[in-house]
Amino acid sequence: MRIRTVAAATGALALTLVSGCAQGGAAGSGANSVTYWLWDANQLPAYQACAKGFEKENPGLDVKITQMGWADYWTKLTASFIAGTEPDVFTDHIQKFGQFADLKVLEPLDDLGIDDSSYQAGLGANWTGQDGHRYGAPKDWDTVALFYNQKMVKDAGLTADELNTLAWNPRDGGTFEKTIAHLTVDKNGKRGDEPGFDKNNVKVYGLATGGAGDGDGQTTWSPFVESAGWHYTDKARWGTKYRYDSKTFQSVIDWYFGLAKKGYLAPFTDYTDGANPANAQVASGRAAASFDGAWMISTYYGTKGLKVGTAPTPTGPSGKRATMMNGLADSVTKNARNKDGAKKWVRYLASDACQKTVGGYGIVFPATPSGTEAAVAAYKKKGIDVSAFTEPVTDKKDSRTFSFPITDYAADVYALMRPAMQDVFANGAPVSGLTETNDQINFILGQ
């Protein structure tokens, strides 16, 4: 079973998103050093600053940081577990947690004294395995919102207030679909809601494509299925059955990808992992708006010649907005060469001292409330309003947050759902076919 799962993880975790490289490994790890891997180059300076603070508090112990791009990161990390060259500590993703827990490559962190109440709600609890042990210390979080080209919105006669109060339903799409249609312009200047609109010759799509969404749809369809009252599995954490066979799920997916058939959503062919993600489509003028994560705030606002705004996800049939809240953590590897030093480093990473330092860079939202506040203040200094991302977390009156599905065999789920969802979007396969895929997934989980 271990060999089969490792093989599945190696294939499924080799994602083709943002590329990058760095020479890394456990070389140099020992009694006087701790090796630490992360994937985000934008966050590297913040964690280098944390390392200086840590080393000052722990004389004689140094942190060696390796940064590499997203795709390289997971491929090399998985390979390092097989080869025995894993780092002492690495940035962990909740989407991968189930697979790593299954492989038993993580060190329990119960002795760190992590108090879940010290962090934004839900972040700490997500990193508890089925055995009751903690395997990750809360690091940061993100949510999803709608980025839009302010000029295109103004030219369409729309206002920020209108985008902030959108609603949708799977029957006629509500004000959300009407807005996306109005933002769509064909090559003759006709808008998507005007007579004579040519859906086969679109110049500007109302909504950029983020691809098929694989099995979680984080920045594509997830706000819609969740605000319709659906959830991925039968349990909030460590579910035993997936629910892609749900009529609610399939009807929402049918409506969502139907936006592409109407010419409002950019087609599957407009999306290429790494080369042409949603933000590139907005930056080039190919699309007027896109759903994207908080980790992309600096990228959108830093795009030369583009003035962007943000709006919350639309209100759904449930009466609330929904946005995926992804929480990263730092994990210690089971075979860490400097386990004591690794745990000290992870405890420092989760501390208010490091969290405030990271927040001050205005790149991500750290897990502690004070770290989040520091980030909001840093963004404000840059003239960026991040309320569309923070309000679902700090004020849940009109919104709800939800997590990635956390189950065993996460890589196998990805391997099955990715092509199935692409078939629906790219080839127009009937959504009813997802029932068979769901049966295959649940068969694996039942083994």
Strand intervals (E) in 205-337: 289-293, 308-311, 321-324, 326-332
Q: Domain residues of the chain, as ranges? A: 2-142+328-392, 144-324+409-445
Please give the pLDDT value at position 274.
66
**What pTM value is reported for the model?**
0.90
Provide the pLDDT for residue 447. Answer: 60
Q: What is the pLDDT of residue 49?
A: 98
Tell me how far CA of residue 247 lies from CA of 250, 253, 432, in angstroms: 5, 10, 9
CATH class held by domain 2-142+328-392: alpha beta
DSSP string, 128-148: B-TTS-B--EEEEEE-EEEEE
- Condensed to tens digits (0 to 9), the pLDDT of residues 317-353 reads 999 999 999 999 999 999 999 999 999 999 999 999 9
pLDDT of residue 1: 28
Q: What pLDDT sits at residue 394?
A: 85
Give the separation between CA 318 and CA 304, rounded to whole angstroms.
Answer: 38
- Dihedral through CA 109, CA 114, CA 119, CA 122, nearest 10? 50
Identify the pLDDT of residue 5.
34
Identify each DSSP E strand in 284-325 by its residue range. 289-293, 308-311, 321-324
Angle between helices 247-261 and 434-445 (to 10 degrees): 130
Q: What is the pLDDT of residues 169-199, one digit of tens each?
A: 999 999 999 999 999 999 999 999 999 999 9
Query: Which pLDDT tens digit goes with each residue over 377-387?
Result: 999 999 999 99
Number of Cβ within a 10 Å radius of residue 217: 26
Q: Do domains 2-142+328-392 and 144-324+409-445 have the same CATH topology?
A: yes
pLDDT-flagged residues of the chain (< 50):
1-25, 27
- The CATH number assigned to the domain with range 144-324+409-445 reads 3.40.190.10
Residue 6's pLDDT is 35
- pLDDT at residue number 18: 29
DSSP 322-378: EEE-EEEEEEEBTT-TTHHHHHHHHHHHTSHHHHHHHHTTSSSEESSHHHHHHHHHH
